[in-house]
Every structure is written in structure tokens, then in C-alpha cells.
Amino acid sequence: MQGRRSPLAHLRTGRPPYAAHLGAQPHGRTVDEPRTIAALTARYDAIRAEALPFKQSVKLLERVVTQRGS
């Protein structure tokens, strides 16, 4: 299973059909349509490519909070 810390988890059994679980509040959703899974994967990959690593994100947020508090 991929995406354990992500709102999108790919579920694979070793061969198709695959499924993806979308974690959302208050309820998640499981999809098994290959085109939908491909579209969702592309969106999450694009977001992930632009995102900072976790520790850098925390440092950035701390810096912004400190600057706004001054």
C-alpha cells in the first residue's frame, strides 16, 4: 500500500484490478475505476512534487508565525 501518510492510498493485490482509497473527513471513499485512479494519482503527484519536505514545512510555518507576531 502506498501513501500511508497521504490522503490517497493505492491498494494493490499484485495484479489488476487496483483500488485507491481517498481519505477525507468525515468519510473516506474507495474507487476502483482505472481512469479515476490515474487522474487522482497525477494530481497528488503534482502536489507532492511542489511540496516541501515535512521538516522544512514546519520551519517555514514557524518562521511565518514568528514574523506575523512581531
Q: Is the pTM of this model over 0.85?
A: no
Q: Is the peptide bond before 26 cis (omega within 30 degrees of 0)?
A: yes
Edge-to-edge order in the sheet of strand 19-22: 8-11, 19-22, 29-31
Residue type, 61: L
**Amino acid in position 52:** L
For 11-69, what is each residue's pLDDT tens digit?
777 777 688 888 877 788 899 998 998 898 899 889 889 999 999 999 999 999 999 87
The whole-angstrom separation of Cα 39 and Cα 44 is 9
